[in-house]
Amino acid sequence: MLLFLSVLETEEEQGKFTLLYEKYRYLMWYVANDILKDKDLAEDAVQEAFLTLTKHLDQVEEVDSPRTKRFLVTVAKSRAIDLLRRENRAEFAEYEDALGQEADQNDTLDTYLQTESLEQLVAAIRSLDENYRVVLEFRYLHELSEKETAAVLGIAEKTVNVRTCRARKKLKEVLAKDQGGNV
């Protein structure tokens, strides 16, 4: 599946895209391979990540910035997760079923966020499954709206909402467990 650089309308966009590719493709491959444990699939993930990027290049301001680096890493992770999903459909069907459960109506994560130290929050986030982390990163770190996140991930807005709720709930569970309390 190829999408073409011609989708990028201006030379500036094409130049930016090329620089991003030159600078970040190895990092993106590494991150994808870490998830997929398959070098070839990781290459596919990188390719798909760049294809995704052609449609969301407006999210990137500077080529050489921590913010851009993080964004591209999140995109690469999301593509890798998608590929993993395709490779392990049964496993992910179960995951999707879990996502289909009702959203957490009493989201008290904000309370936990303000009572925990940054160190504890970081540790909790790093313990989360990448499925959860990616959606949180798009929504809160990269500040994408539900609609924008849905476009990047290629899923429905409603699904983004459910995944976000689920991810927040999971994070809250981790934090509560660390505190030795109940969710």
Residue 138, classed as helix, strand or coil, is: helix
The two tokens of residue 158 are: 């409603």
Exactly one of 43, 104, 173, 178 binds other proteins (CB under 8 A); which one? Answer: 43
CA 87, CA 84: separation in Å to the nearest integer? 5
Among 35, 36, 50, 75, binds other proteins (CB under 8 A): 50
Give the ranges where the chain is alpha helix by DSSP (H). 11-36, 39-55, 66-87, 89-99, 109-115, 118-127, 130-136, 146-153, 157-179
Residue 98 CA: distances (Å) to CA of 169, 170, 172: 12, 12, 16
Fill in the per-residue mask, 116 to 145: x = in contact with other proteins (CB under 8 A), - = not in contact.
Answer: --x--xx-xxx------x--xx--xx-x--
What distance in Å separates the CA atoms of residue 71 and residue 65, rounded to the nearest whole number? 10
| 60 near other proteins, rule: CB under 8 A | no
Residues 88-107 close enough to bind other proteins by CB under 8 A: 89, 93, 96
- Looking at beta carbons only, is 3 or 176 nearer to other proteins? 3
Q: Which residues bind other proteins (CB under 8 A)?
A: 1-7, 14, 17-18, 21, 23-27, 29-31, 39-40, 43, 46-47, 50-51, 66, 69-70, 73-74, 82, 85-86, 89, 93, 96, 109-111, 113-114, 118, 121-122, 124-126, 133, 136-137, 140-141, 143, 154-156, 159
